[in-house]
Amino acid sequence: MPELPEVEAARRAIEEHCIGKKIKRSVVADDSKVIDGVSPSDFEVSLLGKTIVAAHRKGKNMWLQLDSPPFPSFQFGTVPNLFDSQNPRNFTLTLFSSSLSERMHESLGSLVQGNYRDDFRSAVNDTDEWPSKYSKIFIELDDGLELSFTDKRRFAKVRLLKNPASAPPISELGPDALLEPMTIDELINSLSKKKIGIKALLLDQSFISGIGNWIADEVLYQARIHPLQIASSLSKDSCLELHKCIKEVIEKAVDVGADGSQFPSSWIFHSREKKPGKAFVDGKKIEFIAAGGRTTAYVPELQKLIGSQAAKAPSSKPGKKTVKGRKNENSDDDPNAPGSEEEEKAKSVKSKGGRSTTRHGRKLPPAKRKISESDDDDDDDGSNDDSDEADEKTRTTKKPPAKKKSKKAMTMTSGATTTRVTRRKR
């Protein structure tokens, strides 16, 4: 999922290439899960003929200021693509989330070298589908530049607002970690009042906005703080180190355009996606636990619980990287999300409706449970985790086989151009 550096890279790209240009044409997907609170036709009409005046960001949200309201606002599930349609081999910019950009860099090789480096991240080849079938908003500007906001997994939210900064979710965000950093005194004072694990607190967007899972892991590793350490128990020295590391990690990631391949080799970022038992940083073993409802990478040798938590800490054991029970990937913003598989099992001890697990003094046989083919929340097959609620029901009741998913084709027409978007019916 994109975090502050990825969204800031997108904002800067739009600011550099799109300011002062008029929207000539737009195509908005008929997808109410992503396009929130407005019909595709109304959205298209509101953009047509407008000039892009500025691009703004707070936390993981970005919005375009046009010459008159309403303004399109983006809460990203993926990061936008910009492409120069007049010369398919000489594109302007393409931005992806960090993991995707790394794969693109590996496949493109020398295409990301030389004079191009300052202008773009990776290429849209003339053999690629354009716009993508996962495009949610496609915009053509008066000079031929095209923008496509894509979201394969449908985690983004796109809204049309008169004043995005004063409306939820942006109005509910805490200070931006890059633009409005807390002073050291403000941070120490805030932490002293928080009886919550430090990683869960960093993921709370109402506390500090823009920090997501990988940034929180990196900051805590660099500051040598255990992810489960209670925030109010941190020493002054730990608070000082945390304040410094938040600034350094975010500024470095932004300076290199959120290009993971250019992050320092000493960062835990490069190994946090490896399998347990095979992940190391500077020769030290990385282990995985659940913290703040998210899979968390940390180095036990360097990040130790302190104070009263140290005495209560169980022996460290490597854990699975996937945290079950999450409803969607946006749980970066929910520090109270389920934290472990054990917690989920505890919740399901009592069956639905409070039905007793015994009958006439005898134990009932265990309920059959539907087994998911994959719990990998980083899968790029376009699926999401909306089926969690259905899975919960199948733990107590056997359901008939689900009908085979079918593809649904959708055609959207704008002017003389027809865009065909194919998506899976959910």
Catalytic residue ranges: 2-3, 60
State the first-to-last Cα distance of the chain, in angstroms, to the nearest integer.
21
Phi, psi for 178 (deg, rounded to 5): -100, -45
SS3 10: helix
